[in-house]
């Protein structure tokens, strides 16, 4: 009976409720659909604070099947596009399309977003798949400055608007003096940032109808 309820809540119509264990989990007595979360960091460097923040978002969003996007794409070039959309761009576009929700954390470079992130957005727009359309998306930023990349986050929002995702309006998470905000294990050390991130991930789960 419980298994049937689990299946029903997950929208599974098969009688094989072992499947439901992969789709829903019970946390503190609450049934939660796991879903697919895609994480995008606008920084490529290994010790990136934005990659750390994105991973913290995934930890808090859990349960979910988490995928980290790879933005090591060629620079957008129309001549390259004429030879066919690169396979790694198609992979990214498919990952966005298949995700129930996306979280993006980007650095601030000279009061704007990173070229790496803009390049990825431009390439994906050329796949003609429209993977962002109606996608629940949470934006975050982490930066060395005191505003935590506020300017970059606004530009991120403007850069995504043409693709018509469901961008969460808040809470806004901008991690300032970011290098000092994570411990050795990559966990946020500031309780206020963690609380805001938890609120943001709850809102993202809700927007993705995973709560
Ligand atoms: C080219 C460049 C421009 C930057 N411009 C800004 C800026 O406008 N505001 C800011 O707060 N930090 C700025 N920084 C510092 C970044 O916030 C810092 O390097 C941060 O750690 C980058 O994010 P990451 O750790 O995820 O790579 C800049 C860094 C670089 C490399």
- Provide the whole-model pTM: 0.88
Residues of the domain holding 140: 35-207
Q: State whether 14 and 49 are in the same domain.
A: no
Q: Residue 149's closest CA among 121, 111, 119?
A: 111
Are 69 and 63 in contact by the 8 Å Cβ rule? The answer is no
Plot region of 45 (φ>0 → left; ψ -120 to 50 → alpha; else → beta) = beta
Q: State whether 69 and 2 are in the same domain.
A: no
Which residues pair with residue 173 across a beta bridge? 140
The mean pLDDT of the chain is 89
Q: From the CB of 143, is ligand 1 less than 6 Å away?
A: yes
Label residue 129 by pLDDT band (50, 70, 90). Answer: confident
The confidence score (pLDDT) of residue 28 equals: 55
Dump pLDDT digits (tens) for 44-75: 999 999 999 999 999 999 999 999 999 999 99
Q: From the CB of 115, is ligand 1 less than 6 Å away?
A: no
Dump pLDDT digits (tens) for 189-199: 999 999 999 99
The confidence score (pLDDT) of residue 128 equals: 85
The confidence score (pLDDT) of residue 184 equals: 97
Question: Which ligand 1 atom is the nearest neighbour of the CA of 178?
Answer: 21
Question: Which ligand 1 atom is the nearest neighbour of the CA of 45?
Answer: 27
In terms of Cβ atoms closer than 10 Å to its own Cβ (0-12, 13-18, 19+), residue 178 is buried
Q: What is the total count of domains within the chain?
A: 2
Q: State whether 100 and 196 are in the same domain.
A: yes
Q: State whether 129 and 146 are in the same domain.
A: yes
Are 76 and 123 in contact by the 8 Å Cβ rule? The answer is yes
Ligand 1 centroid, distance to 41 Cα (angstroms): 13
Q: From the CB of 144, is ligand 1 less than 6 Å away?
A: yes
């Amino acid at each position: 009976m419980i298994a049937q309820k689990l299946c029903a809540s997950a929208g599974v119509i098969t009688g094989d409720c072992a499947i439901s264990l992969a789709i829903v989990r019970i946390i503190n007595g609450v049934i939660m659909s796991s879903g697919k979360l895609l994480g995008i960091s606008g920084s490529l460097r290994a010790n990136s604070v934005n990659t750390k923040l994105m991973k913290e978002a995934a930890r808090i969003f859990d349960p979910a099947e988490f995928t980290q996007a790879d933005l090591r794409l060629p620079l957008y070039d129309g001549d390259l596009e004429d030879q066919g959309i690169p396979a790694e761009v198609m992979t990214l576009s498919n990952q966005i399309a298949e995700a129930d929700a996306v979280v993006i954390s980007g650095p601030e470079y000279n009061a704007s977003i990173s070229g790496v992130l803009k390049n990825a957005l431009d390439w994906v727009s050329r796949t003609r798949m429209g993977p962002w359309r109606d996608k629940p998306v949470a934006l975050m930023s982490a930066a060395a400055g005191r505003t935590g990349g506020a300017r970059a986050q606004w530009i991120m929002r403007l850069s995504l608007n043409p693709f018509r995702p469901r961008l969460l309006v808040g809470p806004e998470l901008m991690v300032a003096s970011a290098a000092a905000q994570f411990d050795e294990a990559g966990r946020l050390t500031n309780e206020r940032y963690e609380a805001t991130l938890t609120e943001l991930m709850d809102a993202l789960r809700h927007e993705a109808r995973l709560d």
